[in-house]
C-alpha cells in the first residue's frame, strides 16, 4: 500500500501528479501527515516544486476545459483529505484518457468532485450574502466569520468591486487569516492575537466607531418595529440562512 505525503497545497498536489508519472507509481491515497497509518504502508514524501506543478497545470489546460480546471481548484479549497485523493485520481485519469472525462459522472471521482464543487460554491455565495461589516474606530470595516470551507480566495474580487471605496478586513476565524483591502490592493493578514472575543460575532463597543454603535442601535430598532411577531418563522429563516450565520447579524444580536 503506497501513500503520498504532501504539504497540503495545490502546488503540492500537482507535484504529486508529476512525481507519480515520473516514478510510474500511483498512490492509493494522499495524506498530509504520517500518523495512524495502516500496517505495511509505504509512504513517499513529496517535495513541492513550482516548476513541476506548472508543467502539470499547463498539461491540464490541454486535456480539460478552463471551467473544469477551475472546478479542481475550487474543490481543493474544501480542505477535505478524501477530495485530495479524488483530485489526484481525476487528474491522472484526465491525462491517461483519450477523451474528456469532465461529464463522466459514472466515475466515482468525477461525481464526488462535482458534488463538492457545488458545496464550496454554495458556501462562497453564502459568504457574499451574509457577511456583515462593523466599522472600527479607525474607519476600517471589519467582518469576522467562520465558513465551512476555505472560500476567501473565491470572494475577494466580489468584495473589492462591491466595497471599493472603503478599507475593509474579512477575517476567517477558523483558519486564522483574512483579507485586507487598503483602497488600492488586497493583502492576506494574520493576527497573532485578536483583542476581542468573537465567538458571538460582535466586536466590543470600545473597538467600534461611534457612528457604528448608533447605526447598530438604529437598525435593531427598525428591525424590531417592522417585524410582525405572528409571522416570525425561525424554521423558514434557517432554510434561507443557516443559523451559524445569525451571530454575525446586527438584528440578531442583543
Q: Using one digit for the tens of pLDDT, what is the confidence trace for 2-57?
A: 999 999 999 999 999 999 999 999 999 999 987 888 888 899 999 999 999 999 99
Domain boundary among 73, 95, 123: 123
Residue 215 has pLDDT above 80, yes or no: yes
Residues 96 and 138 in one domain: no
Residues 28 and 113 in one domain: yes
Q: What is the pLDDT of residue 103?
A: 92
Q: What is the DSSP letter of 204?
A: -
Domain count, the chain: 2
Q: How far is CA 95 from the centre of its chain?
A: 27
Residues 182 and 108 in one domain: no
Kindly list the distances between the CA atom of residue 157 and the CA atoms of 98, 102, 153, 186, in Å, as whole numbers in the listed order: 36, 27, 8, 9
Mean pLDDT within 222-227: 83
pTM of the predicted protein model: 0.88
Residues 17 and 92 in one domain: yes
Residues 91 and 154 in one domain: no
Domain boundary among 94, 123, 152: 123
* Averaged pLDDT score across all residues of the chain: 91
For residue range 96-126, list pLDDT tens digits in order: 999 999 999 999 999 999 999 999 999 999 9
Taking a C-beta distance cutoff of 8 angstroms, is the pair 2, 39 a contact?
no
Residues 89 and 146 in one domain: no
Residues 164 and 140 in one domain: yes
Residues 177 and 201 in one domain: yes
Contacts of 212 (CB under 8 A, 6+ apart): 134, 135, 136
Band of the pLDDT at 213, cuts 50, 70, 90? confident
Q: What is the pLDDT of residue 254?
A: 57
Rg (CA), the chain: 22
Neighbours of 61 (CB within 10 A): 11
Residues 150 and 55 in one domain: no
Looking only at the bridges linking them, the beta strands covering 2-5 and 29-31 are parallel
Query: Which among 212, 200, 205 is positioned nearest to 245, based on CA atoms?
Result: 200
Domain boundaries, position 174? 131-252
Residues 176 and 200 in one domain: yes
Query: Which among 193, 173, 172, 171 is positioned nearest to 181, based on CA atoms?
Result: 171
Residues 195 and 231 in one domain: yes
Residue 193 has pLDDT above 80, yes or no: no
Taking a C-beta distance cutoff of 8 angstroms, is the pair 110, 102 a contact?
yes
Domain boundary among 123, 153, 184: 123
Residues 139 and 89 in one domain: no
Amino acid at each position: 500500500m503506497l501513500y503520498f505525503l504532501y504539504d497540503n497545497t495545490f502546488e503540492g498536489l500537482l507535484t504529486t501528479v508529476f512525481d507519480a508519472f515520473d516514478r510510474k507509481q500511483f498512490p492509493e491515497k494522499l495524506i498530509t501527515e504520517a500518523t495512524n497509518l495502516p500496517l505495511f504502508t509505504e509512504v513517499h514524501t513529496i517535495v513541492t516544486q513550482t516548476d513541476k506543478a506548472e508543467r502539470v497545470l499547463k498539461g491540464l489546460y490541454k486535456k480539460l476545459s478552463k471551467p473544469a480546471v477551475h472546478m479542481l481548484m475550487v474543490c481543493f479549497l474544501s480542505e477535505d483529505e478524501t477530495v485530495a485523493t479524488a483530485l489526484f485520481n481525476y487528474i491522472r485519469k484526465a491525462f491517461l484518457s483519450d477523451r474528456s472525462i469532465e461529464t463522466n459522472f459514472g466515475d466515482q471521482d468525477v461525481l464526488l468532485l462535482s458534488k463538492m464543487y457545488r458545496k464550496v460554491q454554495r458556501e462562497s455565495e453564502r459568504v457574499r450574502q451574509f457577511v456583515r461589516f462593523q466599522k472600527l474606530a479607525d474607519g476600517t470595516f471589519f467582518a469576522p466569520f467562520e465558513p465551512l470551507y476555505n472560500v476567501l480566495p473565491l470572494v475577494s474580487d466580489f468584495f473589492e468591486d462591491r466595497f471599493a471605496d472603503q478599507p475593509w478586513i474579512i477575517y476567517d476565524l477558523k483558519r486564522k487569516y483574512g483579507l485586507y483591502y487598503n483602497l488600492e490592493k488586497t493583502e492576506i493578514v494574520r493576527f497573532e492575537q485578536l483583542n476581542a472575543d468573537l465567538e458571538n460575532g460582535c466586536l466590543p463597543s470600545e473597538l467600534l466607531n461611534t457612528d457604528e454603535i448608533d447605526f447598530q442601535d438604529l437598525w435593531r430598532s427598525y428591525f424590531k418595529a417592522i417585524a410582525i411577531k405572528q409571522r416570525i418563522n425561525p424554521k423558514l429563516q434557517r432554510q434561507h440562512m443557516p443559523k451559524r450565520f445569525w451571530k454575525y447579524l446586527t438584528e440578531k444580536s442583543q
